[in-house]
Every structure is written in C-alpha cells, then in structure tokens.
C-alpha cells in the first residue's frame, strides 16, 4: 500500500510544472509549456494532423477551432456545465457526453498551448447578464490578439485581416459592424458571412438551431473580460473571479469589478523582444545590444532563447552581443523562441 502511494505521488509530481508569473504589462499566470499534460493532449488527440492542412500559423489556428467544434457536441442540457480539463473533456466526449461553451473554450485554449501558442480564456457578457466563454490567441504572424470562438466555430475578419475581440467590440459600439465578416469553419470548408446578412446559421448543432449569429450574439460584446491565467491544468480552482474587465464609457456605470484595466494594456503585444543599444567605451564603432523578453510592454511565456537572422538563416544568440555601427544602420532582425520552438514576431534593431 505504501509503495502504491509513493508511486502515485511520483506520477503526480511528474505532471506538475511551475506556472510562470507575468508582472507586466498586467499580471497573468501562464501554464508552463513543460507540463506533461499538454504534451499528452497534443499526442493523444490527433488534432495536429488535422490542422497541418493550414499553410500558415493563422490558418492552423483557425483549423484548430474547426477541430474543437467537430470533436465536441453541444447541448444546453449538458451534465458538465463547467469542465476545464481537456484530457477529461476528450475522454467524456468519446462516451457521448455533451458540453457547453466553457469546455469548448478550455479545449481550444489547452490545445493551442500544447502547440506553443499563447492563448487566454475570455468571457463575453450581454446587458441582461447572459455570458459566453471563448478564447483570445496571440498571432505571431499578424502581431496581434485574435478572437477564436470554437463553440460557434467562427472567427471574424475585416478586409481579410483577423480581428481581436476588442476591435470587434469597437465596431459594434460605433455602429460600424457592417465592415466585418464572420468566418464559419476553416480551410477549404470556410464559409464567409457579411454582417449585412445577419442573422446566419453556419452549422446544424443544437446551439446553431436555437441561437444563430445575429443581433443577440452581437450583444455579447457589451462587456469583455479576460481571465488572468491560463494554467487550467496546474490550477483547477474557479477561474471566473480571476478576471479583468474592460471598463470604458459604454459600461463604466455598470462595471464594478476592481480588476478593470484599460484597452491598450488589455491587448498589449506578446512574444516581442525589447533591446538596449550601448556604445563600447574602447571602440566607438562597435555597439553592444542587450535583449530582454520580459519588459513593461511585452512578455514571452516559456521563453527559451533569442535568434538573429544571419545570411537568410536564423541562428541562436545570447541576450548580449556586439555589432558594428554600420550594420545597425541597415538593421538586425531578432526574435524570441519559446520552449516548443515557436518563434515570435521579428523585430528589427536599428541605431537612431
């Protein structure tokens, strides 16, 4: 009996890894990409083959949304209203269990993390109090946060560019929502709906039959909030109280949550390195560049190393290196890379 307890303890410890604390530009706790449950999810769920049809990072993110939608069955009478462990979600899905938006969002978020993509859990709230759970994901390709809704299997674009939930909300508030396009599914199956065609039914699930995307769905944009952590594996406690709510002129009289933050901070960039250039005292033509992945404006979760482009190849570099002054005039391209080998957006270092 004692040996069994020890064995179970060892297995439990093996699954655990320290969550990573982000301080700036706002406090956030990231699931460590070393967590073995993320690796198990990626290995056992077989979504990687499905999304490999995408030629770009963003196309693969959209296909992941489509995979989650296809893998789960929605029901307003789901026996598990709040289940955030994706391994358990997929086990129950295999038994025919139905789910709500909370589990759709959790499955997308954790699958995205297992790919090395920074993602976060968000809530949308109608004026009448009805809420919807979904996901924000950082697109290294587009250098912005992008809204993904695996429950309805939609993402939203404007002139072919993916939109963040904040941008969508701003169009709605300014009555310019007609400029956006709703994209159902992904890849070759993608169907595009202009806002002028609302409401529309993109799927045949129970959700789509009862709640097509129209004026009611748009009212979810009344309030958006972000959960201040994505470590759903390593911390199974209630996530709802741990969220920031955007407070602006539209809802400042109704939002009382102390965790309100400004729009600019809420959608600060991610995975982007910062740098400092210093002159060498003994050689004025040589400059020292110091890189950092943890700044007051950006943060790279599960950071592994920096890379620099050299003769059309990316090479690993230290956080400090020297370069000739004339090279800085043309620019040096650098980027961060996380523990799963996912590179962030390219930054060009130039002397002033």
At residue 284, the pLDDT reads 80
Q: From its phi and psi, is residue 84 left (phi > 0), alpha (psi between -120 and 50) or beta?
A: alpha
pTM for this prediction: 0.91
At residue 259, the pLDDT reads 55
**CB of 107 closer than 8 Å to CB of 90:** yes
How far is Cα 251 from Cα 236, in angstroms, rounded to an integer?
30
Closest CA to 273 of 351, 327, 344: 344
How far is Cα 2 from Cα 6, in angstroms, rounded to an integer?
6
**CB of 203 closer than 8 Å to CB of 153:** yes
Is the N-terminal amide bond of 199 cis, ω within 30° of 0?
A: yes
Token pair, residue 38, equals: 């993320």
How far is Cα 242 from Cα 244, in angstroms, rounded to an integer?
7
Domains of the chain are: 2-266 (no CATH), 274-349 (2.60.40.10)
How far is Cα 132 from Cα 104, in angstroms, rounded to an integer?
11
Per-residue pLDDT of the chain (352 residues; tens, 9 = 90+): 444 333 333 334 344 467 899 998 889 999 999 999 999 999 999 899 999 999 999 999 999 999 999 999 999 999 999 999 999 999 999 999 999 999 999 999 999 999 999 999 999 999 999 999 999 999 999 999 999 999 999 999 999 999 999 999 999 998 889 899 999 999 999 999 998 888 988 888 899 999 999 989 999 999 999 999 999 999 999 999 888 888 776 766 555 555 556 677 888 999 999 999 988 878 888 899 999 999 888 999 999 999 999 989 999 999 999 998 888 888 999 999 999 999 999 999 987 6
How far is Cα 316 from Cα 154, in angstroms, rounded to an integer?
37
How far is Cα 193 from Cα 334, in angstroms, rounded to an integer?
38
Which residues pair with residue 148 across a beta bridge?
135, 155
Which residues pair with residue 305 across a beta bridge?
337
N-to-C CA span, the chain: 68
């Amino acid at each position: 009996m004692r040996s069994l307890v020890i064995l179970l303890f060892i297995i439990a410890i093996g699954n655990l890894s320290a969550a990573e604390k982000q301080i700036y530009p706002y406090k956030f706790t990231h699931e460590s990409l070393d967590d073995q449950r993320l690796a198990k999810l990626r290995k056992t769920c077989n979504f990687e083959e499905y999304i490999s049809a995408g030629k770009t990072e963003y196309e693969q993110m959209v296909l992941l949304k489509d995979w989650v939608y296809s893998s789960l069955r929605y029901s307003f009478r789901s026996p598990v209203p709040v289940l955030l462990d994706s391994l358990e979600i997929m086990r129950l899905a295999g038994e025919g269990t139905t789910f709500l938006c909370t589990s759709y969002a959790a499955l997308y978020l954790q699958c995205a993390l297992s790919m090395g993509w920074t993602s976060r859990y968000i809530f949308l709230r109608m004026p009448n109090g009805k809420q919807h759970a979904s996901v924000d994901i950082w697109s290294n390709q587009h250098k912005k946060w992008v809204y993904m809704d695996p429950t309805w299997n939609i993402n939203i674009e404007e002139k072919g560019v993916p939109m963040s939930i904040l941008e969508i909300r701003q169009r709605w508030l300014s009555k310019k929502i007609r400029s956006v396009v709703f994209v159902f599914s992904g890849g070759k199956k993608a169907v595009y709906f202009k806002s002028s065609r609302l409401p529309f039914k993109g799927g045949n699930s129970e959700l789509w039959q009862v709640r097509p995307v129209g004026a009611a769905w748009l009212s979810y944009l009344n309030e958006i909030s972000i959960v201040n952590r994505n470590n759903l594996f390593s911390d199974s406690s209630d996530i709802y109280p741990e969220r920031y709510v955007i407070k602006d002129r539209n809802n400042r009289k109704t939002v009382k949550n102390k965790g309100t933050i400004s729009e600019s901070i809420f959608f600060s960039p991610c995975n982007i390195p910062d740098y400092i250039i210093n002159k060498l005292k003994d050689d004025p033509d040589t400059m020292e560049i110091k890189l950092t992945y943890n700044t007051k404006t950006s943060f790279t979760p599960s950071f592994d190393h920096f890379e620099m482009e050299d003769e059309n190849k990316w090479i690993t570099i230290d956080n400090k290196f020297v370069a000739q002054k004339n090279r800085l005039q043309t620019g040096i391209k650098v980027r961060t890379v996380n523990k799963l080998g996912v590179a962030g957006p390219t930054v060009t270092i130039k002397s002033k």
